[in-house]
Amino acid sequence: MMNLESQEEATDTAPVTTKVSPAAKNMLLILSCILLSIGNCGGPLIMRLYFIHGGNRVWLSSFLETAGWPVILIVLIILYFHRRAAAKDGNHKATTFVYMRPRLFFAVAFIGVITGLDDYLYAYGVARLPISTSALILAPHLAFVAFFAYLLVKQKFTPYSINAVVLLTVGAAVLALHTSGDRPEGESKKEYAMGFVMTVAAALLYGFVLPLIELTYNKAKQAITYTLVVEIQIIMCLFATIFCTVGMIANDDFKVIPREAENFELGPTKYYTILCLSALIWQCFFLGVIGVIFCASSLLSGIIIAVLLPVTEVLAVVFYKEKFQAEKGVALVLSLWGFASYFYGEYKLVKKSRNGLQNFQQSIELPQANYSSV
């Protein structure tokens, strides 16, 4: 895996993340962004498809957001055999299958329970609101991420990252100008209002979860490799799934699923296909999130999620024939502008650090040259 597993064995004084080649980290970041994009756009759409055609089990939908975690075991197995092959070549020490220590396990399990609660809040909102409305309500999620990132991990802000946060937040405000009149037919004002409140709560809670994951990396007291990141993903989703499973049992969802499949407008086969695809697509989202945090920061993951919300709006218009007002087009432009602003700031920061490194190397070489001439 392109040296991603270097320095797997570490002491408590190990750095937060192991050293990886820039090329490997960039490739992993690109892959994580792709997975995050697939999950962030596809997850809400397929979840809404379930509710539009006769599904009404909120706990089941929240369960599916993390129930696909066994798929990630395939990634973990591939990483394990890669390390074993490298160990036989003499490049690494003998390796083990699991690297997570008990201290980190309990921290990640706690985050998993919080994630399960957030899954329920989000699923409730999607069940009651159109995709376009739920997406715009989630947009201030970036401001929550920025706030908690500052409190928990002392995230440093540049003028460009601040500009990105402001633009994306303004984009959300522009989207909010036309929220009235989109209440689904047959839904009461109380149900609509509850969906609105639950979605806001989901945005706030997940804005806390992303920096909390980054803080867990920083306080882990062991080297954070991509293998360990995958283990964190599995444990987090496992406990979120357990939380939602308890809710399903209390709500008798397991008993109702066969009957709901028979009454589903698209038929039982498509019903179960939608459930399986939902679990798989949402797993792409979570794997993408932790990958972006590993390669960059929780703030970047929040920015990517925010910039994809208007894209989700466009897809909702295409697939579900939802209205696309001019305000949504303006919000899309603002989001792309904010996204570009963030990456331009990162480009300037990297360029500045490279120039500083070159100047430092030259300052070392000059005295040596003078000494040799003497």
Averaged over 219-234, what is the pLDDT?
Answer: 85
- Average pLDDT of the chain is 79
Instruction: Name which of 283, 219, 355 is nearest 69 in CA terms.
Output: 283
Helix (H, G, I), strand (E, B) or coil at 343: helix
Least confident of 32-36, 86-90, 101-105: 86-90
Averaged over 247-261, what is the pLDDT?
Answer: 93
In this structure, which long-range contacts are made by residues 174-179, counting pairs with CB atoms below 8 Å and at least 24 apart in sequence? 174/327, 174/330, 174/331, 174/334, 175/135, 175/136, 175/139, 175/310, 175/313, 175/327, 175/328, 175/331, 176/136, 176/137, 177/327, 178/325, 178/327, 179/133, 179/136
Q: How many degrees, rounded to 5, is the angle at CA 28 between CA 22 and CA 33? A: 125
Instruction: For residue 17, list its beta bridge partners.
Output: 224
Least confident of 195-199, 234-238, 275-279, 307-311: 307-311
pLDDT tens per residue across span 116-175: 999 999 999 888 888 877 776 776 676 777 778 878 877 677 787 788 778 777 776 676
Q: Which residue has the higher pLDDT, 257 or 321?
A: 257
Distance, in Å, from the CA atom of 140 to the CA atom of 158, rounded to the nearest integer, reads: 19
**Residue 261 confidence class, pLDDT cut points 50, 70, 90:** very high
**Residue 13 confidence class, pLDDT cut points 50, 70, 90:** very low
Averaged over 339-351, what is the pLDDT?
Answer: 72
Q: Which residue has the higher pLDDT, 372 or 327?
A: 327
Q: Which residue has the higher pLDDT, 158 or 252?
A: 252
Instruction: Name which of 138, 128, 110, 132 is nearest 61 in CA terms.
Output: 128
Distance, in Å, from the CA atom of 298 to the CA atom of 196, rounded to the nearest integer, reads: 25
The predicted pLDDT at position 38 comes to 92
Q: What are phi and psi of 224, to 5 degrees?
A: -95, 105
Element (H, E) at 265: none
The predicted pLDDT at position 94 comes to 54
Tokens of 175: 């989207």
The predicted pLDDT at position 189 comes to 78
The predicted pLDDT at position 143 comes to 73
**Residue 11 confidence class, pLDDT cut points 50, 70, 90:** very low
**Residue 107 confidence class, pLDDT cut points 50, 70, 90:** very high
The predicted pLDDT at position 139 comes to 66
Least confident of 180-184, 194-198, 270-274, 294-298: 180-184
Instruction: Name which of 104, 372, 114, 56 is nearest 242 in CA terms.
Output: 114
pTM (2 d.p.): 0.77
Distance, in Å, from the CA atom of 74 to the CA atom of 90, rounded to the nearest integer, reads: 25
pLDDT tens per residue across span 25-75: 788 889 999 999 999 899 999 998 999 899 989 999 999 999 999 988 888
Read off the amino acid at residue 180.
S
Is 60 exceeded by the pLDDT of residue 12? no
**Residue 272 confidence class, pLDDT cut points 50, 70, 90:** very high
Distance, in Å, from the CA atom of 191 to the CA atom of 331, rounded to the nearest integer, reads: 27
For residues 176, 181, 182, 184, the Cα torsion angle rounded to the nearest 10 degrees is 150
Q: Which residue has the higher pLDDT, 14 or 96?
A: 96
Is 60 exceeded by the pLDDT of residue 361? no
The predicted pLDDT at position 353 comes to 64
DSSP string of 301-329?
A: HHHHHHHHHHHHHHHHHHHH-----HHHH
Residues 6 or more apart in contact with residue 183 via CB below 8 angstroms: 189, 192
Instruction: Name which of 196, 214, 104, 199 is nearest 155 in CA terms.
Output: 214
Averaged over 218-245, what is the pLDDT?
Answer: 89
Tokens of 226: 């991509």
The predicted pLDDT at position 273 comes to 95
